[in-house]
Structure 1
């Protein structure tokens, strides 16, 4: 599932492929990924306009056209962006194609179609679409992060992955960050000490910076992520057995030795 680092990679790809270029054609191959806008409305709104910048908030990508409308993209579980030449063969899961000047084509590709594209006419419409999003996990300062944790009585992993609390973290990142911080995923967010909150924030920032550089949550040998699908689950830090369970409907992996219950 694309998380903040993946979407930041999509933002950079969008910037290199389409930013500053005029949209020559919009080809909607599957209207099932459009929300609140028809294929014709999307074409009429964008063709002839110039993509001016790409922004990211959490797992959302905002493609702006100056003082014109903004396209908001969400990638669900299987979505991604591809930059191609218009003559290249399309993939079966390419849902919307944006052909821009300079012989480039940006493709929104998604197998499962759990999210998709929205069109916002102005900044107030963008704000309404993002109204339920919490602060961006990469942009939030420590005070804001600690305020989120103090205000939530739920389990810390549930809070970290709640997009209305903190935008951008998904299952892999939450498990990785909690493992690094030595915190059990079921501990209450509001019960964390100031020291624990500060440590969690510092390790979230460090983990995000590394993952953004890699363009995804990297399955490195030194990371929990690199071992969560091993046949025999062993902690890369202490060598002890890892545990796998379900928490709020998500597969959760942690180390009982490094993250003791009650931590």
Structure 2
């Protein structure tokens, strides 16, 4: 399963744009000011992540969602079912290139012509720039996941550390999956979490690895560097303990990995 890193963007416009996003997405959209972005997600009724997004506020009545994996046209079609009488227009924009721009304060957002700039601290993520993937490694090392095509609807928010990314709010009222997300937050008990790992060989995002004959490791994004192969991986907690007991521990056939960082829910 390959990962598509093209810029899939969805415009949400109209007098009810913010109220609509507030009722559908997991973050507190009301806190978002013009010229800022935040992590957010769209969950299903069982609390699983259907879409992971960087949500920016273009104007008082306009938002832009940059999907971190997935297809904007499909998301627009799915969200359209919940518009009802709301004054909202959903527009899936033509996919464009993603490029790396100069350092810009994290969560700052700007428009440049028909392009968009998302500030990420040490760099910026630019929609509509010449394509390059220099942004991928620093975002991977920061624990900013990108969902491959086989994982939407498979992972709960704690598995990809959405609470740490402030992509899930627990005090803003109802949204799809809110009850499950809140239960996991207040009661805990989720047994899968995200880690940064070094792989012994190149693999693709979306690869499912086994340990001890059991499906236990989902690779998210993978970056092949000059000296190593780094990835974000969702790993069962009991398997993490086994992997950490050995500097390099085998999974599947001839593949090994080493955990270098981990994140809470």
TM-score normalized by the length of structure 2: 0.30
Q: If each structure's helix is expressed as a fraction of its own residues, which one has the higher value?
A: 1
Alignment TM-score, normalising by the size of structure 1:
0.30
- Larger proportion of strand: 2
